[in-house]
Structure 1
């Protein structure tokens, strides 16, 4: 069987993570990378990977089975994914939770009109955590959901800071509040506000002469990203950022606590957790698994937008249904 031909739009940390995931999956092949930079300056790991200008997106539809979009959710994906879905089967990791319904509608319209399949908002949250929330809620209806992220670097939030005028570079850490996490794990079912569950730490490199007070204000008041959290902003040099914040770790837990029994006398805690050395490499791995599912759905004649909720586990796996039944059940 021929491998699934993958293309990547965007070749930053996430794009490189997607390339590494393609190399780890024998049934996928990265054939090309689209970039907004000068293609001559972009050097993929693979020797036979083409590098094309993003302006050439429409010129390679015959070369690619699934295009993985590796841009940011703040400004890239809301425009890129619907446009790309008109040309390709696509997968993205759009992670602005509040705007997913709007993003889904735009991508679905473009994909249906073109006869393509689009899978949006896959990664670990939204993505793997989302599946855990749905499974746990279906199993234990009398309960409550809690999601804790970090401590780790959020690529999307860091990207959002870097888009602020005057910012050269930035890293943003999401940090669970320990007391809140322990209260949930105890089965106490606490009623927690967004602000009580997490804090956000931002390390920012400002351009020479930039108005740091204005940058800080833009960060702490940014809707959907920082406005609902206690946020600290620390300005550092590029050297400090490179030395102390070079890695991109992340992780977290999604927990459902609830009860069963005639009087709710039995308490249960369901927890799914991740500890990631590399957020982009793990997210890239999820994107490639979903690209496999996307290609399979397209081959079956499906069209339109999908989320992780619409994808059967067997479609994500490289294993055959027979092997899955024999080894995974």
Structure 2
């Protein structure tokens, strides 16, 4: 069996777990990890000692799929560069309001370069989106509430870290029910920085403007970090003309580990799609799973 050659672009929380997930996939081969040039001047993390680490993907040969393990605001630029090289991409872009625009922007580029982009391939957006879709066709009329947490939001935390004057940050999502959330943001700041100005910048960031958000100054963010997270999704709706159909889905997870696992499954699916850009709800579930198609049908159906 010819293995799928995978590169990991970025080595933060998701990238570290992506290395493990690719190495555990029987149909994949980890070609290398692409890190910022500034990172290469520092000691290589021990877990990367036997892995090729480069500053540019051009230094790697015959990459089939690149897992973009970078902040959402860097995804589009990185994906465009990779797709133009004919390399398929998978990302975990999590700015919900901009997903359709990203999909459309990458679609023609992927088609022109005979490649595939699977976007927003984490657990939400991503696998939760698929569950919401399943609930929708089970009860076409009704209301679905997605309640996140309690847990660390990687996207929100990274957005805060990017604000000038912030040394480190943690954003914790607290579910209040019916899809409403509170954001608890804990920050360390540079000694001369203005806390009130930083707080204002956080509150007006698109990641936070739609939720109740509290910003707290702490001496050491690392003492607070727990990457656990979760979701409770509930739908109350109507099947045909029958009311009171109650559907529930719940999970408690390690956030970056699950995100990277879904990205790896999406890398497998890349090779089974026509050129273009896709969200997970457009991908056949069986394309994400390793194994013989008929055996999978026998096992799962």
TM tier, shorter chain? over 0.9
Within-5 A mapping of 1:1-329: 1-36=1-36, 37-41=38-42, 42-43=44-45, 45=47, 47-53=49-55, 56-60=56-60, 62-73=61-72, 75-87=73-85, 88-177=87-176, 180-181=177-178, 197-223=180-206, 225-238=207-220, 241-245=221-225, 247-260=226-239, 262=241, 264=242, 266-276=243-253, 278-297=254-273, 302-329=274-301
Please state how far the C-alpha of 1:232 moved relative to its aligned partner: 0.6
User: What TM-score do the two structures reach when normalised by structure 1?
Assistant: 0.86
Please state how far the C-alpha of 1:45 moved relative to its aligned partner: 2.2
User: What TM-score do the two structures reach when normalised by structure 2?
Assistant: 0.94
SS in 1 for 2:174: strand
Assess if the C-alpha contact under 8 Å between 1:111 and 1:303 holds in 2. yes
SS in 2 for 1:45: helix
Please state how far the C-alpha of 1:98 moved relative to its aligned partner: 0.2
How many matched pairs? Answer: 298
SS in 2 for 1:38: helix
Q: Cα RMSD (Å) of the superposition? A: 1.6
Larger fraction in strand: 2
Q: Runs of at least 4 residues of structure 1 off by over 4 A?
A: none
Query: Partners in 2 of 1:108 and 1:273 — Cα distance?
Result: 32
Query: Partners in 2 of 1:125 and 1:221 — Cα distance?
Result: 22
SS in 1 for 2:223: helix
Unaligned runs of 5+ in 1: 182-193
Query: Partners in 1 of 2:205 and 2:223 — Cα distance?
Result: 27
Query: Partners in 2 of 1:57 and 1:46 — Cα distance?
Result: 16
Query: Partners in 2 of 1:261 and 1:285 — Cα distance?
Result: 36
